[in-house]
Amino acid sequence: MKLISATPSPYARKVRIQLLEKGVPFELVTEVPWNDDTTVPAYNPLEKLPVLILDDGRALYESAYILEWIERMHPQPALMPSDRDAYLEARQYMVLADGICDAALLLFFERLREPAHRSEPWMARQLRKVDRGLEALARDIGTRMFAVGDRFTLADISVAAPLGWLKVRAPDIDWSTRHPDLARYYERHSQRESFIKTVPTAQVLRDKVV
């Protein structure tokens, strides 16, 4: 399989970590999806990363769907709880983490506009979502090792994605100082081999996006 990814993408990082944790072999293809020469539209009509290209040429897109596909097609080791309530709790963390990613990216791209064209109310709204989302994560996870139960799951992978992205793309959002327990949670998981191999790095957006 091939995974089309961008180095800072929190959505693609989730899939990369899942594949590494499961020991599923894949070829990593790195692109800047915002550049005119990207191949992403050939595989995903929504022009978003990540894209997982299967051995038969089919393309899977949207990280939430890819995570579910991998979990069902490669069930061991399991990265979702088998217990119903724990499963639903993990899904809630995944939804919250994706919401933080979505708002943070909208804020990032609004900041790319010329100052005269930026919407301050829009940026404030997205920042508020990010801040409240982080507060919820910090409150709910607290000092626990894992987001759900007593083992590593997709909930932990999903929570880590926006935290790592914020360090690279929005360092002014100093979440680690405001939420020290959450910072320690992230640092503990950052020692995993799958996290070390997927540390996000910034890319240069060559072509104009906004």
Q: Does 109 share its domain with 163?
A: yes
What's 32's domain CATH number?
3.40.30.10
Q: Does 187 share its domain with 149?
A: yes
Q: Does 88 share its domain with 192?
A: yes
Q: Does 69 share its domain with 93?
A: no
User: In whole angstroms, what is the distance from residue 6 CA to residue 44 CA?
Assistant: 14
| Domain-embedded: residue 210 | no
Q: Record the pTM.
A: 0.96
What pLDDT tens digit does each residue of the chain (210 aa) get? 999 999 999 999 999 999 999 999 999 999 999 999 999 999 999 999 999 999 999 999 999 999 999 999 999 999 999 999 999 999 999 999 999 999 999 999 999 999 999 999 999 999 999 999 999 999 999 999 999 999 999 999 999 999 999 999 999 999 999 999 999 999 999 999 999 999 999 998 898 888
Q: Does 95 share its domain with 42?
A: no
| Domain-embedded: residue 39 | yes
Which residue range forms the structural domain that includes residue 69?
Answer: 2-73
| Domain-embedded: residue 56 | yes
According to the model, what pLDDT value does residue 124 have? 98
Q: Does 62 share its domain with 98?
A: no
| Domain-embedded: residue 205 | no
Q: Does 58 share its domain with 99?
A: no
According to the model, what pLDDT value does residue 208 have? 85
What's 90's domain CATH number?
1.20.1050.10
Computed on alpha carbons and rounded to an integer, the radius of gyration of the chain in Å comes to 17
User: In whole angstroms, what is the distance from residue 173 CA to residue 168 CA?
Assistant: 10
| Domain-embedded: residue 65 | yes
Q: Does 121 share its domain with 62?
A: no
Among 20, 48, 73, the domain-final residue is 73
What is the tally of structural domains in the chain? 2
Q: Does 101 share its domain with 190?
A: yes
Burial class from Cβ neighbours inside 10 Å (0-12, 13-18, 19+) for residue 200 reads buried
Q: Does 186 share its domain with 88?
A: yes
Alpha-carbon dihedral angle through residues 207, 201, 163, 19, given to the nearest 10 degrees: 100
